[in-house]
Amino acid sequence: MKESLILAIDIGTSSVRAALYDGNANPVPRMSVKLDRSFSVTEDGGFELNSVEAFDQFTHTIDAVLEKSATMKGEIEYVAWCSFWHSLVGVDKSGNPTPGVFGWADTRSREYTQILRERLDERAVHNRTGARFHSSYWPAKLLWLQTEFPAAYAQAAGLFSFSDFLALKLFDQTETSISMASGTGLFDIRKCVWDEELMNELRIEPSLLPPIAAGSKTYRLNKTFAKRWPRLADAKWFPTIADGAADNIGAGCVTASRAALMVGTSGAMRVIYKGEPPDKIPDGLWCYRLDQERVIIGSALSDGGGLYDWLTKTLKLPKDAQEQIARRAPGAHGLVFLPFLAGERGTGYNESARGAVIGLTSATEPVDILQAALESVAYRFAEIFDRLNMVVKIEEIVASGGALHASREWSQIIADCLGRDLTIDDVRESSSRGAVLRALESIGRIDDIQNYKRVDDRRITANPSRFNLYRTAMKSHAGAYKLLIG
């Protein structure tokens, strides 16, 4: 018998990855491909992918991994994929997409969040949809498009997440998963349907939104793509799940006691558990779903690894900057840094937030600013952590992401700010692995992803004395936030 293989595809903000896994969710050595890309950023807050280029990159990634594995024995039986949350693309009656795919960091609709707050009870909407009014989500984007681009909006025959648009092209039909729908801000996470009040308020016809896919449903390629990829002609494709949810699964964080902390381009802290959303979702947190049985609750930061990259390029840091920080006391720089270069999501969701450095003197050095910035992101995670513990009791934190893999010092700062040890997940493809595990569970090859055994990686031990110093410094950070952000 030929070995059963699974193709995993991870459609991220900064890259598209494809890899082969065996039937036990183990990656096949040397059978992975990664294509880097970036969103186009404009001065007015635009954050877009070109829809044609993004589709071509997706297909070329699959081309590449199939070519790489051409001589490998084994049948690709399933395709499991995950994608970035919060994207929006319109499709006309002919199935042609709008030129741009709006990403989570597109803030051009920020003025419309206040209009939504004036029209609707934001607390009630937050508790139904799990999402605050913010330009990351569909309601503000759709109101912006309806108001400022009415002719273009009128041509839309469908409103999709980017992964749903891909499904339309691949299968000649599209449904969206509960996971992807729950990240739009337009989905009732308690009833698992599109939110009726928001649809009425925004005058969205139900036909514009994709149906919600059953969790066990699979799809097959249409004739065009079955001809292009003969090895995938009989493969069963699962509905896409969100990359954030997949990252939790891949990191083994699928219980209420285990949180995943990720620092990639942005940052997030999330908990997945079986059950229903909390009766009242705490302010500053969002709550989505993985599927009908599990919810995912947490918060996201717009500035993570992207902030670190900007600091590295802008400050012309010395090569030993990280080593210098490791030898310093917390807050030794005397600065307060507000990490909102890409705006604010969690926990305040203030659309007008901007970055700031307070306390600069003629003696301030680039390493001072770097340390203050890394600490400030850790303070934001500490606030998320405190709010999550209002809902669940977190006993372990698993940290991942390229930014943390590159900086043990930053990992240590975060551990000390939280007052908790961190387990560093050294597997670089947690999202791909998570998509595969969820697929295997849905077909019964894994009884429960909660029981999946993962090997704990290296640990970062929190320093209690530094925790107390950081908690004091956080008060200055909070005061500056209140003064400048509000």
Q: Would the pLDDT of 395 be above 50?
A: yes
- Biggest CA pair distance of the chain: 71
Rounded Cα gap, residues 128 and 122, in angstroms: 10
Instruction: Give, in degrees to the nearest 5, the angle at Cα 354 between 350 and 358.
Output: 120
Residues 133 and 40 reside in one and the same domain = yes
Structure tokens at 424: 């560093």
Half-sphere exposure (Cβ direction) of 456: Cα atoms closer than 13 Å: 10
Sign of CA pseudo-dihedral 134, 137, 143, 144: positive
Residues 234 and 268 reside in one and the same domain = no
Rounded Cα gap, residues 464 and 150, in angstroms: 56
Give the domain CATH number at 387: 3.30.420.40
Write down which residue in 185, 214, 242 finishes a domain.
242
Residues 223 and 261 reside in one and the same domain = no
Query: For 344-365, what is each residue's pLDDT tens digit?
Result: 998 999 888 899 999 999 999 9
Residues 115 and 91 reside in one and the same domain = yes
Asked which of 216-230, 242-256, 297-311, 422-436 is least confident by mean pLDDT, the reply is: 422-436
Range of the domain at 51: 4-242
Tell me what percent of the residues of the chain surpass a pLDDT of 90.
82
Residues 232 and 381 reside in one and the same domain = no
In a domain, 147, yes or no: yes
Q: Structurally, how many domains does the chain consist of?
A: 2
pTM of the model: 0.93
Q: Please enumerate in sequence order all residues whose Cβ is within 8 A of that of 212, keeping only pairs 6 or more positions apart, or say none.
A: 175, 176, 177, 178, 181, 192, 193, 194
Q: What are phi and psi of 398, to 5 degrees?
A: -105, 120
Residues 199 and 297 reside in one and the same domain = no
- Going by pLDDT thresholds of 50, 70 and 90, the confidence category of residue 333 is very high
In a domain, 447, yes or no: no
Residues 122/132, Cβ–Cβ less than 8 Å: yes
Q: Would the pLDDT of 133 be above 90?
A: yes
In a domain, 449, yes or no: no
Query: For 37-66, what is each residue's pLDDT tens digit?
Result: 989 999 899 999 999 999 999 999 999 999
In a domain, 388, yes or no: yes
In a domain, 432, yes or no: no
Identify the pLDDT of residue 52: 94
Residues 225/235, Cβ–Cβ less than 8 Å: no
Query: For 94-112, what is each residue's pLDDT tens digit?
Result: 989 988 999 999 999 999 9
Write down which residue in 223, 242, 261 finishes a domain.
242
Amino acid, res. 151: A
Rounded Cα gap, residues 49 and 320, in angstroms: 36
Write down which residue in 242, 268, 292 finishes a domain.
242
Residues 214 and 80 reside in one and the same domain = yes
Residues 265 and 134 reside in one and the same domain = no
- Going by pLDDT thresholds of 50, 70 and 90, the confidence category of residue 2 is low
Residues 143 and 227 reside in one and the same domain = yes
Query: For 189-209, what is each residue's pLDDT tens digit?
Result: 999 999 999 999 999 999 999
Residues 322 and 410 reside in one and the same domain = yes
Asked which of 25-34, 59-68, 148-157, 426-435 is least confident by mean pLDDT, the reply is: 426-435
In a domain, 175, yes or no: yes
Rounded Cα gap, residues 143 and 108, in angstroms: 11
Structure tokens at 473: 């410094």
Identify the pLDDT of residue 1: 41
Residues 200 and 282 reside in one and the same domain = no
In a domain, 204, yes or no: yes
Residues 184 and 163 reside in one and the same domain = yes
In a domain, 441, yes or no: no
Sheet holding 100-102, edge to edge: 40-41, 47-50, 100-102
